[in-house]
Amino acid sequence: MPARTGRPERPLQNVTLSLTDSIPTRRAVPLRTVLVLLVIMTGAAPISLYMLVPALPVLATSFGSTASAVQMTVSLYMVGIACSQIIMGPLSDRYGRRPVLIAGLGLMVVATIGGIFAQTLPQLVAARFLQALGGASGMVISRAIIRDLYARDRVASMISLVIAVMMIAQMLSPLAGGLLEISFGWRSIFYVLTALAVVTCIGVTVALPETRRRADATASGFSAGARGLLSSRAFVGYVLCQVLASSIIFTFAGAGPYIVVSQMGRSSAEYGAWFATSGLAYLLGNLCCAKFAPRHSLDKLIWLGLGFQSAGALLNVAWGITGINQAPAWLFGTHMIIMFGNAFAMSNSAAGALSIRPQLAGTASGMMGFLQMGFGSLCSQFGAWLGGNFATPLPVNLALLGLSALCAAAMIFLVPRQPTVATEKLIEQAESEESGLL
Q: Judge whether 162 and 36 are in contact, CB under 8 Å.
A: no
Ordered per-residue pLDDT tens for the chain, 438 residues:
444 444 344 444 443 454 434 434 444 556 778 888 888 888 888 888 888 878 888 888 889 888 778 878 888 888 898 898 888 988 888 888 899 999 999 999 999 999 999 999 999 999 999 999 999 998 889 888 888 888 777 787 788 878 777 777 777 787 788 888 888 999 999 999 999 999 999 999 988 888 876 655 554 556 777 888 899 999 999 999 999 999 998 889 888 888 888 889 888 668 778 888 888 899 899 889 888 877 888 899 999 999 999 999 999 999 989 888 888 999 999 999 999 999 999 999 988 998 888 888 888 888 998 898 888 878 887 888 898 888 899 999 999 999 999 999 999 999 987 644 444 444 444 344 333 333
pLDDT at residue number 199: 93
Q: DSSP string spanning 316-340?
A: HHHHHHHTGGGSHHHHHHHHHHHHH
pLDDT at residue number 128: 93
* Together in a domain, 312 and 295: yes
User: DSSP E strands: which ranges in 248-319?
Assistant: none
pLDDT at residue number 418: 60
State the Cα–Cα distance between residues 370 and 426, nearest whole angstrom: 29
pLDDT at residue number 220: 53
Q: Judge whether 90 and 363 are in contact, CB under 8 Å.
A: yes
* Together in a domain, 210 and 78: yes
Q: What residues contact 3, with CB distance under 8 A and at least 6 apart? A: 21
Residue 230 domain-assigned (yes or no): yes
Q: What is the CA radius of gyration of the chain?
A: 22
* Together in a domain, 271 and 189: no
Q: What residues contact 55, with CB distance under 8 A and at least 6 apart? A: 177, 178, 181, 186, 189
**Nearest-10 crossing angle of helices 361-389, 222-230:** 70
Q: What's 260's DSSP letter?
A: I
User: Considering the entire predicted model, what is its pTM?
Assistant: 0.75
Q: Note the Cα 36 to chain centre separation in Å.
A: 17
Helix (H/G/I), strand (E/B), else coil: 65: coil
* Together in a domain, 235 and 137: no
Residue 11 domain-assigned (yes or no): no
Residue 78 domain-assigned (yes or no): yes
CATH number of the domain bearing residue 317:
1.20.1250.20
Q: What's 358's DSSP letter?
A: G
Residue 394 domain-assigned (yes or no): yes
* Together in a domain, 119 and 83: yes
265: left (phi over 0), alpha (psi -120 to 50) or beta: left
Q: What residues contact 254, with CB distance under 8 A and at least 6 apart? A: 379, 380, 381, 382, 383, 384, 387
Burial of 14 (0-12, 13-18, 19+ CB in 10 A): exposed
Tell me how many domains the chain contains. 2
pLDDT at residue number 270: 80
List the domain range (segments joined by +) for residue 192: 26-217
**Nearest-10 crossing angle of helices 31-52, 121-135:** 160
Last residue of a domain, one of 217, 237, 254: 217
Residue 32 domain-assigned (yes or no): yes
pLDDT at residue number 303: 96
State the Cα–Cα distance between residues 79 and 49, nearest whole angstrom: 12
State the Cα–Cα distance between residues 69 and 401, nearest whole angstrom: 34
